[in-house]
């Protein structure tokens, strides 16, 4: 066992909270054993989380001969975090509790995603709908799953809005947010190495190890991964880039085609399958190369036609069962859930429970 524990205290707080959340209930001894740290490290972390109202003692475990150990649960009513994803025509915003469970959601239309005023006012409207003003003190912050092509002046407008409202803001790549949204919504197992291939403003691949992003800049774009050296020429100057096959007319058009496919259009079904096959071929190769336990396919086109993408995945993954394939169905958007999780984790990692007082909400009975 490690003698000192890993990381600074807030990082350990995050690990403890995540472990208790995943297990529903746990004891200090179980946490120390699972995280491979000393009992003192866990005791100090639990003290901070109890004082912040993020954990509560829910009873006692069955005695094995000595004093029964105290059970710990996440106080799901203690804090809320917001998540927001920005699509070309809408804002999807959610509020989650301390366990990452969806509490409320709102989808707001956007006429012009490049208009800083419209986007920032949409976020303001969504925030007011999700969090009453008198409960802002119990909010950890807001996470943004920002598209790769978001105009700089829109990003600056969001910075100005969150500064005006004195709201902590966290930003993440779409792929990372989609992966976290899928994991925290229960689509993946609680441990192991998982990959998420997300079709959004770019095609991104993100890795989670036991539910934690593999590295901070996780979620790299794969748009210009060459899949056919003799394929059509890309704007980057090379031939056969992945995005020319997975979304040849853009992801928005592919989403509309996928919707038509689910409504019975045979032409649309063939078009979506033709786009799904190269994506799932890359997914299968990545799964083999990295040794994934789970591969998640995510994005609006995938959600619109899940059966087609699963059929395409079966072509390349086969029946060996080495990698479990999941089509993410998190509503209203896995990126929005994942962005809220990022906000919750950033709150803990920056010392949130220690930096300010917490309005404790009595936990509901188990």
Q: Greatest CA span in the chain, whole angstroms?
A: 72
* 188-327: CATH topology: Nucleotidyltransferase; domain 5 (3.30.420)
Helix axes 28-35, 39-51, angle to 10 degrees: 120
**Euclidean distance between CA atoms 220 and 364, whole angstroms:** 40
Take residue 158 and report the two structure tokens written for it. Answer: 């969001």
Q: How far apart are CA 44 and CA 30, in angstroms?
A: 15
**Structure-token match 């949409």, residue found:** 122
Rounded mean pLDDT, 305-327: 91
The pTM of the full predicted model, rounded to 2 decimals, is 0.81
Tell whether the model's pLDDT for residue 93 goes beyond 90: yes
For the chain, residues classed under CATH 1.10.10.10 are 9-74
Give start and end residues of each alpha helix (H) in 217-333: 243-246, 251-262, 266-290, 300-304, 306-317
Burial of 88: CB neighbours in 10 Å, binned 0-12, 13-18, 19+: middle
For range 183-201, the mean pLDDT: 88
Cα gap 199→184, rounded to integer Å: 19
Residues of the chain with CATH 3.30.420.40: 80-175+334-352, 188-327
For residue range 141-177, what is the model confidence (pLDDT) as tens digits? 899 998 888 899 999 999 999 998 888 899 998 999 9
Mean pLDDT of 210-233: 82
| Average pLDDT of the chain to the nearest whole number | 85
Angle among Cα 115, 234, 144 to the nearest 5 degrees reads 35
Options 3.40.50.720, 3.90.320.10, 1.10.10.10, 3.10.450.50; CATH for 9-74 is 1.10.10.10
- CA dihedral sign of residues 191, 197, 198, 202: positive
How many whole angstroms separate alpha carbon 329 and alpha carbon 335? 11
User: What pLDDT shows up at residue 315?
Assistant: 93
| CATH superfamily membership of 80-175+334-352 | ATPase, nucleotide binding domain (3.30.420.40)
pLDDT in tens, 10-29: 578 878 887 888 788 899 99
Among 301, 229, 223, which residue's Cα sits nearest to residue 259? 301
Q: In what order do the strands lie in the sheet with 102-109?
A: 102-109, 90-97, 80-86, 139-145, 169-172
Q: What is the pLDDT of residues 271-280, one digit of tens each?
A: 999 999 999 9
Least confidently predicted of 77-81, 105-109, 120-124, 203-207: 77-81
- 357 has a pLDDT exceeding 50: no
More confident site: 64 or 116:
116
Average the pLDDT over 101-112 and give the result.
91
């Amino acid at each position: 066992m490690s003698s000192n524990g890993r990381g600074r205290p807030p990082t350990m707080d995050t690990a403890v909270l995540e472990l208790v959340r995943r297990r529903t209930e746990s004891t200090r001894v179980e946490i120390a054993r699972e995280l491979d740290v000393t009992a003192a490290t866990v005791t100090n972390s639990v003290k901070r989380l109890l004082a912040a109202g993020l954990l509560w003692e829910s009873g006692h475990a069955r005695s094995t001969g000595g004093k029964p150990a105290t059970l710990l649960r996440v106080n799901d009513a203690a804090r809320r975090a917001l998540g927001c994803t920005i699509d070309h025509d809408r804002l999807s915003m959610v509020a989650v509790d301390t366990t990452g469970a969806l509490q409320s959601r709102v989808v707001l239309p956007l006429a012009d995603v490049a208009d800083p005023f419209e986007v920032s006012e949409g976020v303001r409207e969504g925030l007011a709908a999700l969090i009453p003003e008198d409960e802002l003190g119990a909010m950890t912050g807001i996470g943004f799953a920002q598209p790769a092509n978001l105009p700089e002046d829109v990003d600056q407008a969001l910075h100005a809005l969150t500064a005006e409202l004195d709201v902590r803001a966290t930003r993440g790549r779409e792929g990372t947010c989609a992966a976290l949204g899928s994991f925290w919504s229960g689509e993946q197992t609680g441990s192991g190495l998982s990959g998420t291939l997300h079709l959004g403003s770019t095609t991104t691949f993100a890795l989670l190890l036991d539910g934690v992003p593999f590295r901070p800049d996780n979620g790299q774009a794969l748009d210009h991964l060459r899949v056919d050296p003799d394929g059509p020429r890309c704007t980057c100057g090379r031939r056969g880039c992945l995005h020319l096959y997975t979304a040849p007319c853009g992801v928005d058009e592919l989403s509309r085609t996928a919707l038509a496919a689910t409504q019975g259009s045979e032409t649309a079904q063939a078009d979506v399958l033709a786009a799904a096959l190269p994506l799932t071929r890359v997914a299968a190769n990545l799964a083999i190369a990295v040794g994934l336990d789970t591969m998640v396919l995510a994005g609006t086109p995938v959600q619109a036609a899940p059966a087609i993408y699963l059929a395409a995945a079966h072509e390349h993954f086969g029946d060996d069962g080495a990698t479990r394939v999941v089509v993410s169905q998190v509503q209203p958007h896995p990126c929005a859930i994942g962005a809220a999780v990022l906000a919750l984790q950033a709150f803990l990692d920056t010392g949130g429970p220690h930096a300010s007082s917490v309005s404790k909400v009595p936990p509901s009975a188990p």
